[in-house]
Structure 1
Amino acid sequence: MKASDNIDAREIRKKLGMNQSQFWSRLGVTQSGGSRYESGRNMPKPVQALLRLVHVEQIDISKIRREDMEVIEYLRATDPDAFKRLKKEARAHRKAG
């Protein structure tokens, strides 16, 4: 995620039709913490990344395992061309489905 990316959590939450508790609990953030982010408090980059994964990309993070991340990092480090190709193919598959 680029530093220039601005995420409007309130707008995303409202588009999804969720209350603050529903929206923020899926990220492991309390309702009061989420409210502060929606009111303009700086949101930490890990929270921004989770918000994008869960509520924008619609990824069920409960299904991601440490082993999956280890495989991804290994492939990225040892065969970056294959990693890029597979990433591109996965995006195309997701858009087609």
Structure 2
Amino acid sequence: MKATDKIDARELRRKLGMNQQQFWSKLGVTQSGGSRYESGRNMPRPVQQLLRLVHVEQIDIQKVKREDFEVVEYLRSAKPALFKDLKKDAKAALKSKK
């Protein structure tokens, strides 16, 4: 799934076997807010991105810290070759676990 692909939140939630409270609370969205998004209300880009990270990429955002982002940004800008190599290695490691 590409980052530009639109996610059908209702379909994804149903595939995961979750109720609205379970699904949306992981993103910090109320059940009623999530219901509105599932009914067609425009979902803000940050919510779309959180939905992708949490429910598609399966990232536990409770474990992500600001310093993690700072390290990534540093590597991306100051050491792009190292960043590229680490990213490639991480993808390979994830594939070997599956």
- Decide: shared fold, TM above 0.5: yes
**Which residue number corresponds to residue 59 of structure 1?**
59
**Which residue number corresponds to residue 16 of structure 2?**
16
TM-score of the aligned structures, taking structure 2 as reference length: 0.92
Q: CA deviation at 1:81?
A: 2.0
Structure 2 gap segments, 5+ residues each: none
Question: 3-state SS of the aligned residue for 2:62?
Answer: helix
Counterparts of 1:2-13 in structure 2, within 5 Å, are 2=4, 5-13=5-13
What RMSD, in angstroms, separates the aligned Cα atoms of the two structures? Answer: 0.9
**Which residue number corresponds to residue 95 of structure 2?**
95
2:61 and 2:71 mapped to 1: Cα distance?
16
Q: CA deviation at 1:24?
A: 0.1
**Which residue number corresponds to residue 85 of structure 1?**
85
Question: 3-state SS of the aligned residue for 2:41?
Answer: coil
- Divergent runs of 4+, >2 A: none
Q: Match of 1:24, as an amino acid?
A: W
TM-score of the aligned structures, taking structure 1 as reference length: 0.93
Deviation track 1:17-75 (CA, whole Å, cap 9, x = no partner) reads: 00000000000000011011111111111111111111111111100011111000110
Among all aligned residue pairs of Structure 1 and Structure 2, give the percentage whose two residues are the same amino acid: 73
Question: 3-state SS of the aligned residue for 1:59?
Answer: coil
